[in-house]
Amino acid sequence: MKKSNILLGLAGSLILISLVAWGYQIYNGLIVTNMRNSFSWGLYIATFAFFVGVAAGGLIVSSTVYLFNIEKLKPFTRIASLSAFASILGAGAMILPDMGRVDRIWNIFVYPNFRSPLVWDVMVISAYLLITFLSVYVQILPDRKKEGSRFLNGWTKAHSQEEVEAFSKKWSKRIALVGLPVAILIHTVTALIFATQASRGWWNTAVLPPDFVSVAVASGTALVLVISLLAVGKEQFDQHKGAFQIMALIVAGSLVVHFFFVSVDLIIHGWWGSREAEEILSLIFGHYGYLYATELLLPAFTMVLFFTEKGKRSYRALMIGSVLLFIGVFAHRLMLMFPAFNAIPLSLSIPGAGIESWAYPVALGQLQEGMPVFVSSWAYMPTLVEYGVTLLPFGLVLFVVTAALKMYNFLPQKPFM
Amino acid sequence: MRLGMVIDLDRCIGCRSCAVACKSHNAQPPGTWWNRVFTPGASFHQAAVGKDGALQMEYLPVSCQMCDNPACQKVCPSGATYTDERGVVLIDYERCIGCRYCIAACPYGVRQYNWEDPKKAKARAGYEKGYEYGYPADFRDKDGRLVYTPNRPVGVVEKCTFCVQYTSGGEQPACVKGCPGKVRIFGDLDDPSSEVSKLVRKRQTVRLKEELGTSPKVFYLAATKLIR
């Protein structure tokens, strides 16, 4: 009980810090970030993509239960749905501070342009938010009736406890099955925001959407795994070993698929040997080599660890592997931005001068003493304000998960089904 | 009507008068340029490039390419970017939500964001207090959409409008009028007798990043007389 209060306090302060930073940003404009015209998306969009990714876990885990009849995972469907709801809420919240005119956000709904992948994303993410909320709601319904909770629960008064439990069981399954394609869609569509843009060679590949799905299955399941491990604790670890092993296997298996996509992508980028591709490859292996190594090596380590007998049977190994995976996936999301924006699309060849690729300089959008106005690359590093604002989804996820675990029974020791 | 522009690179002397005229007529805040002129291959403008002692120096002005297939317009979630009945790609400053998707989408790097309030940017850059430049009044299209205002709202994207405040009344854009070498020719590509149509028909033209399928309405007449 005390531990959860500390966590709630921590979540509250994260949210508070982020709101103050966001307020400061609204007052001054996005000039307080380190984004500029040549590097127009940064930490916010990367974090958004990260949270969309980890939101997958919920419905992947619950639908695995129903589609493949894996009983062992059943006790964790509540936690899975909760993690999905919290994550997608965090993703949605993260997008708001990136809007320069968040006060006009309603324009997306009043004048939607249905050719824009961003509008598709708003639709599928809203749908997912609703589905995951309903999924949590129907699963905790019987418990809430038992304890006589009335909020959003009034209609169950006329029904018996057995009827409500039957309802909960039936609709949990239905929602999980409807939710699965939507879970796949949020990653596909989020990836399409990037993949549709032929101006950015690093994004413009059909492998991006399936790769997003594979990374999402891995990182989303890892989040469910971490929350479940924390919820049951070391004492009851052995009791649910089977479930954790299955989750570890899902993580490792989807990482295999991810690395397959990464390899194919790199071969396609590299083989033809165009100047644009060479520039991107030199950016990812050269200038951003450390970040790219983080993106590749940490998840690779987790993959191997989760395949080993020792790895998937140990509480600590599962925890460490998942955390390393999160860091790797976050690096993956950051690496969506760096090579894409530092390869200027308008590059020209001047054969007479022996120059194959020359980037046409872009105006930064800011005049500052001692700094050029026109650049052909921008060493983007988030500012303190950006880090502050980015705490918002972390605070929200922590708050929602902790509060829900505190208020309702999400723990598997009292299975309701 | 499909308004377009032909840029004759043989005539360009790289003086950047077009960029300056554009900037001042359209009240662009410090650090924002709708129109740029650079020397391809050179690390700074007006420097020769070459190898084996054979030097050359060409100039390339770049502003909005007014694509017939504009990626910026297709990605815009709120329909703030649109193509008007004259084929001009415009931004509604009251509709833009500042998501900057269009900046990521544009292959030409012409879209500029208002990272801060233009008035604050001018004060910070040390401009004399109260000094205002550019076309002084708001301009709205026939549907009342705000496509020009001297001080843009913070947090919206802006770019070349083919000087909508002038050209919708039949005048020429500022860059065309301000060019001392008559490099830029502006007109209706749908009118076969217009000068732009004739040039596009008769001369060898190049469009930037044509391979991306954006179908720009800005055509370049390739430089034939190399400045060596």
- ipTM score of complex: 0.95
What are the sequence ranges of the domains in chain A? 2-30+41-343+383-407
Nearest to B98 by CA among B165, B156, B142, B53: B156
The string of pLDDT tens digits covering residues B106-155 is 999 999 999 999 999 999 999 998 889 999 999 999 999 999 999 999 99
Q: Which residue of B has its CA nearest to A123?
A: B77
- What are A374's strand-pairing partners? A363
Rounded Cα distance between A340 and A283, Å, is 9
Residue B227 pLDDT > 60 = no
**Among A355, A403, A404, which residue's Cα sits nearest to residue A376?**
A355
How many CB atoms sit inside 10 A of residue A229's CB?
Answer: 19
Structure-derived torsion over alpha carbons of residues A306, A310, A314, A319, reported in degrees to the nearest 10: -30
- Interface contact flag, A113 B76, Cβ < 8 Å: yes
Nearest to B77 among A118, A344, A373 (CB): A118
- Chain Cα centroid distance, residue A6: 25
CATH H superfamily, domain A2-30+41-343+383-407:
Formate dehydrogenase/DMSO reductase domain (1.20.1630.10)
Q: What pLDDT is attached to residue A412? A: 60
Single-letter amino acid, residue A395: G
Q: What is the end-to-end Cα distance of chain B in Å, rounded?
A: 40
Distance of CA A168 to the CA centre of its chain: 28
The residue-averaged pLDDT of B71-94 equals: 98
Q: Please, what sign has the CA dihedral across residues A84, A88, A93, A98?
A: positive
CA-based nearest residue in chain B for residue A114: B77
What pLDDT digit, counting tens, does each position of A306-349 carry?
A: 999 988 889 999 999 999 999 999 999 999 999 999 999 999 99
pLDDT value, residue A417: 36
Domains identified in chain B and CATH numbers: 3-221 (3.30.70.20)
Which stretches does DSSP call E strand in A143-261? none
Q: pLDDT, tens digit, for every residue of B183-214? A: 999 999 999 999 999 999 999 999 999 999 99
Interatomic CA distance for residues B103 and B157, integer angstroms: 8
Give the integer Cα–Cα distance in Å for A176 and A83.
14
How much is the pTM?
0.95
Higher-pLDDT residue of A223 and A233 is: A223
Q: For residue B226, is pLDDT > 60?
A: no
Name which of A30, A113, A198 is nearest B155 (Cβ-Cβ): A30
Q: Which amino acid is at A372?
A: P
> Out of B54, B78, B100, whose CB is closest to A41?
B100
pLDDT at residue B225 is higher than 90 = no
- Which of A35, A44, A98, A104 to mutate: most B Cβ within 10 Å? A104
